[in-house]
Amino acid sequence: MSDDLMRAEPESAAELAFEGALRPQSLAEFVGQQKVRRQLQLLLEAAGLQNRTPDHILLAGPPGLGKTTLAMIVAHEGQRPLRMTSGPAIQHAGDLAAVLSSLVPGEVLFIDEIHRMARSAEEMLYLAMEDFRVDIMVGKGAGATSIPLELAPFTLVGATTRSGLLPNPLRDRFGFTAHLEFYEPDELHQVLDRAARLLSLAIDEDALAEIARRSRGTPRIANRLLRRVRDFALVRGGDADRAAVRAALELYDVDEQGLDRLDRAVLQAIVERFDGGPVGLSTLAVSVGEEAETIEAVVEPFLVRTGLLSRTPRGRVATARAWAHLGHAPRVTEVDDL
């Protein structure tokens, strides 16, 4: 095993432990997403009063907003066991059948990135969600036989960053769909304040506000930046104040608006290489050396939300704000004329 891999594995484990320690355990502790929290609370309380498993739940939204945390809370608040898997791990109907057949009554099954499941597994899931059974095919050809397998009642919690890729028959079988929104700076301030207390980190309010403002509306990023600031203050031997935040985030290429290296690379490619756009997603991905899915699911939502990027039928276009942010004189584009 190379030295790089040996260093990467402990770092990955440390990141997971860090994220896990900061996850709230109940809806009362969960910050933000107030409407979704109220809806989930009602759904879970109604299921408890009727002594039944809660309806299947679909959580949709950009990465880092708390979909996995909410799935854990659904299981915790209902005092039910939790089984976790992901769409890419289910590449055959047999993979899904093995998971479903081992569920205990009332268990919560969480499938992350559910839109990436194999099509054969999706079709098996239709019947499992509605009737709590699956049909297992035994044999091949003319002698093949379908054997029904009864399942224990369960609650499926699916998470997706691209709900539009879910087939309608699957989407319609969820009893409740929650759309998670980006957080406001004051909500991220609460997230960071709680995380700082859990980490026993002495940090002033101005420093927390600075991190919240640069966290792209995403709690996961806010917690990660807080850790980097803690490391910076620890190594440099200073206080975790606003000056330390600015210095730490400058070191890690996070600018005043929260844009990181990849965000700026995307904007610079559109402005400097394609004269502001429009430019297609695949061309843009090749230009910055990233996967198209990464740009569409991770980068674009924030850039569009902050008014730095527009998506048009002909492609992506940099707005006047993007030109100004990169230090260029704004150019009138087709989007500006609309």
- Which residues are the active-site residues? 67-68, 112, 161, 220
Q: Please tell me whether residue 206 adopts helix, strand or coil conformation.
A: helix
In sequence order, the 6+-apart residues with CB closer than 8 A to the CB of 82 are: 71, 72, 75, 76, 107, 108, 110
Q: Please tell me whether residue 144 adopts helix, strand or coil conformation.
A: coil
CA distance 311 to 293: 15
* Dihedral sign from CA coordinates of 219, 221, 224, 225: negative
In sequence order, the 6+-apart residues with CB closer than 8 A to the CB of 30 are: 24, 37, 66, 69, 70, 73
Q: What is the dihedral of CA 65, 67, 72, 73, to 10 degrees?
A: 70
Among the listed residues 317, 312, 311, the one whose alpha carbon sits nearest the alpha carbon of residue 332: 317
CA distance 324 to 330: 6
* Dihedral sign from CA coordinates of 29, 215, 221, 291: positive
Segment holding 302, helix H or strand E: helix 300-305
Q: Would you say 65 and 78 are in contact if contact means Cβ atoms under 8 Å apart?
A: no
